[in-house]
Structure 1
């Protein structure tokens, strides 16, 4: 088990806010993830995941570009099929992101343990992912790292898309579209236009990735050979994927149609999230053809937010403080985070340049 190296004052900061780290879960290049417990003012307790990012160990590009984007996106999200952020705050060079804990692990772990996902269950989960993407894309946000490992399962076995480390807005301050140039995410889930290494429209790449997720759920294997990039690209462009015979014989034509249009190598012809939600495959379960109250409210809120997005998502920084606590104005928290990251980067430049 990895221990958290915190000072007494840092532990006190967490405690005052109601948080206690309980167990190490895993780590990436610049972050560690812990289970944590939050105690509310009424003494109620909830288990959360806590992602701790140590900016002093991260490259400047991450600190000044990707981390601000991730936090700016996270504080804007409020959708039942996207990970819910409880709070975000900063302590010196560390950023603490407390979020909903996936009680049943991630989708990859589920598939490895239980095998292929039935078509009926795949339909439910893909619809939830498509609703999450429809909401994100309405806000002009792209995820850019959708894969089975980033899809969490709740206690009730609903899915939540997580890990927004590569996410970004896809319009600029003038509301003009921005092409992506970064090679993002995992090669196995990357659309062919990403592999070409040229600027690309980012929204269709999210749809390609959920097409890969759908194929993996149904088939318990990747659709393309990803051992070499050129071979992967050639297979993608040639639509050379095949379901295993025992799977192909039982899944519906409507399901295969959705897979076909998500794994369409031409991004201009690839289906959108709205087209997936309106597909005959989703309609095969009449319960899935209408939004529940929470889903409908989230989409409506996104449409309203979209109207003012270009005016509100670039606010000049004012002061340092907590970045996100759900009782405060969230836009100011973005400003505080950007200023804090700029200050940290300036100090690191002074030490290293």
Structure 2
């Protein structure tokens, strides 16, 4: 694997002894980097492709180290779901923490939409259902994500959705199992619910649902519902429901799709759909007839569009095959959790 970190690094040598190879950097944050990585079990010649998020605790501010980072590690060691990115292991060497997770072969949803444009409604429905399913799992454990956005929706080798990046995630109850409102302004303004933008204490689960609605709107429109360049105007537009479907797609999507977006992007939290009601909505519910199944079907054909994520799923099909996207609820990408090598407590 090209561009490995310096072999003189004691950290890298220690990781190699455990079977991990760190490759080129593919992402950069204020105090974390993301690298390609590989894992090779001594008992098997097969190499597993991973991504590695490396945190440098010496570069991080105190509030991050004392609150957000321990919370993220704690949550990552407690979750396992087909539609949440699989953590392989968490290791610490000195001031650096290495989080190894399954590699998403087909990148993230934002890149997919940039390359391919509007997601056809049937495909958007499948992906939205997978997102909602993964989020429902988190909420059932009283965990709110608080940073749902297209960049944090990853696509696996078989184009299944994986929720990722739990840097702002938190538990929604305290030690006495009482509901706790969030007060931290989290995530990206474009995806943030109006109660988050306004700076009032908020129910993070309902804020997650709003973000899910923004993602659905983006899939169906290939554009944002709101301009977030001015927060005051953003909040005004959110509260006045000042958004519209793009003219060129308005007549191509179903009334049910328009309905669920409208009821999710509801500024009044007493009227906004809860996640249970989102999953029960007529548009979201899986249809029972076989003709509605998307498993294995070609739901988008775009011969001139570059394939998101590199290699095609079926190389022998040739350049004219277009982009094969469907996803399968049987998540063949899942791997058994390896032992977590480091746990963190609040």
TM norm structure 1? 0.81
Distance 1:198 1:54, change over 3 A: same
| Alignment counterpart, residue 70 of structure 1, candidates 47, 69, 72 | 72
**Match of 1:15, SS?**
helix
Quote the residue 2:24 is aligned against: 23
String of CA shifts for 1:132-184, please: whole Å, max 9, x gaps.
11100000000000000111111111111100000000100000111101000
More helix by share: 1
Quote the residue 2:167 is aligned against: 165
Please show how residues 236-247 of structure 1 align to structure 2 within 5 Å: 236-247=238-249
**Match of 2:256, SS?**
helix
Quote the residue 2:12 is aligned against: 11
CA distance in 2, matches of 1:156, 1:327: 22
Task: Determine if contact 2:7/2:13 at 8 Å carries over to the other structure.
Answer: no
The number of residue pairs the alignment matches comes to 305
Offset at residue 285 of structure 1 (A) = 3.4
**Match of 1:213, SS?**
helix
Task: Determine if contact 2:152/2:164 at 8 Å carries over to the other structure.
Answer: yes
**Match of 1:88, SS?**
strand
CA distance in 2, matches of 1:124, 1:23: 33
CA RMSD of aligned residues (A): 2.3
Offset at residue 226 of structure 1 (A) = 1.4
User: Is there any run of 5+ residues in structure 1 with no aligned partner, and where?
Assistant: 296-324, 340-353
Distance 1:211 1:221, change over 3 A: same
Please show how residues 249-328 of structure 1 align to structure 2 within 5 Å: 249-283=251-285, 285-286=287-288, 326-328=337-339
TM norm structure 2? 0.83
Task: Determine if contact 1:130/1:274 at 8 Å carries over to the other structure.
Answer: no
Quote the residue 2:131 is aligned against: 129
Offset at residue 199 of structure 1 (A) = 1.1
**Match of 2:58, SS?**
helix
Offset at residue 273 of structure 1 (A) = 2.1
